[in-house]
Amino acid sequence: MTQIAVDIEALNQQIYIESAFIEKIQSQTDKVIIGQKHMIQQLMIGLLANGHVLLEGLPGLAKTLAIKSLASAIHAQFNRIQFTPDLLPADIIGTMIFNPTKNEFSVRKGPIFSNFILADEINRAPAKVQSALLEAMQERQVTIDKQTYLLEEPFLVLATQNPIEQEGTYPLPEAQVDRFMLKVKIGYPDREEERQIIRLNLAPDNLPKIEPVIDPQSIIRARQVVRKIYMDEKIEQYIIDIVFASRDPEAAGLGSLKHLIAYGGSPRASINLALASKAYAFIKRRGYVIPEDVRQVCMDVMRHRIGLTYEAEAENITQEQIITEILNTVQVP
């Protein structure tokens, strides 16, 4: 047996032990979230890979409930910020206030100083607010009156947006959208799930209470373990092939997509695809990444990083169709 095989075997055992808390968190969220397994899984991937998540779906699909439930299961600080057109940067990051008794200014920190931030209807806030949030998301810090304050880890922004409302909304800047590791689209539950949702919400004792099963420090340790998961060079090449096919489809044998793609995935797409694949392997309690891991996370990592041309929009071509075509064409190792 080679040294690398021995290392992977030992890593597998370590991952199996370290990832035991995943089932505990899932059992807690299952108490109040019916269906939506994909959404919960993607939230966990974002948490383990230290990446922010953008949830897009119609109202009433348990986006807010899922995020609150996850925060409760992890015993972490949680703040919900309702984004509105009149929101100011100070409403998020905080501001300087004057204390007349001491005759001096002091800092009043905003709701951004928390472990979990639910940015509800993020596309309703203007550019100044988005730029304030951008620093917090990318640098994990906030600047108030020339003073910089580090945000406590784990720090995760979970944003929601409604795809059908256009009035009073602002399109998110491309630079900010790229900061989200995953963009998850959420659909309606099926008939049986809807029946269970009705029964759960009409129960006399209302929603069950979620118990904390892990602390934030354990999540930080799990993130370090996730980065140790083995990724073969062939998997790395597979990730690069996928991202480069979105930039230059003709070179990848996808000439039919050339007139549909305005721009492809940035290097951040490659980084996040690799990190999300490792986090997915961790959730599956495996110490190494396989091609299927990459394929499972690819749609949510790439969909907001591919720009469509006017021609694609006129033909009603979506990013999902383009990504599916790329995955079907790029050779799997």
Return the SS3 of 103.
coil
Which of 293, 92, 50, 292 has its CA nearest to residue 182? 50
Give the Cα separation of 78 and 71 in Å (integer): 6
Please tell me the predicted confidence (pLDDT) of residue 238.
94
- 23 and 154 inside one domain: yes
Confirm if 167 and 122 have CB atoms less than 8 A apart: no
Return the SS3 of 115.
coil
Give the Cα separation of 116 and 66 in Å (integer): 12
Token pair for residue 199?
């029964």
The total number of structural domains that make up the chain:
2
- 198 and 293 inside one domain: no
Asked whether residue 312 is assigned to any structural domain, the reply reads yes
**CATH assignment at residue 263:** 1.10.8.80
- 183 and 35 inside one domain: yes
Q: What confidence tens digit (pLDDT) does each residue in 212-241 have?
A: 888 888 888 889 989 988 898 999 999 999
Please tell me the predicted confidence (pLDDT) of residue 168.
61
> CB atoms < 10 A from the CB of 178, how many?
17
- 199 and 238 inside one domain: no
Which of 304, 331, 327 has its CA nearest to residue 257? 327
Q: What confidence tens digit (pLDDT) does each residue in 104-161 have?
A: 777 888 888 888 888 888 888 887 888 788 878 888 888 887 788 888 888 888 888 8
If you ran DSSP here, which 8-state letter would residue 173 be given?
Answer: P
Domain-ending residue, one of 178, 196, 219:
219
pTM: predicted TM-score of the whole model, two decimal places: 0.87
Token pair for residue 152?
């406590």
Return the SS3 of 196.
helix
Domain-ending residue, one of 219, 240, 262:
219
Give the Cα separation of 16 and 18 in Å (integer): 6
Give the Cα separation of 140 and 155 in Å (integer): 7
CA 90 remoteness from chain centre: 25
**CATH assignment at residue 98:** 3.40.50.300
- 117 and 258 inside one domain: no
Please tell me the predicted confidence (pLDDT) of residue 291.
92
- 146 and 242 inside one domain: no
- 192 and 45 inside one domain: yes
Domain-ending residue, one of 219, 244, 279:
219
- 202 and 237 inside one domain: no
Token pair for residue 281?
């392997």
- 49 and 192 inside one domain: yes
SS3 of 17-52: the string is HHCHHHHHHHHHHCCCCCCCHHHHHHHHHHHHCCCE
> CB atoms < 10 A from the CB of 215, how many?
13
CA dihedral sign of residues 158, 164, 170, 175:
positive
What domain range includes position 160? 17-206+213-219
- 40 and 129 inside one domain: yes
Q: Could you say which residues of the chain have pLDDT below 70?
A: 1-6, 164-168, 204, 206
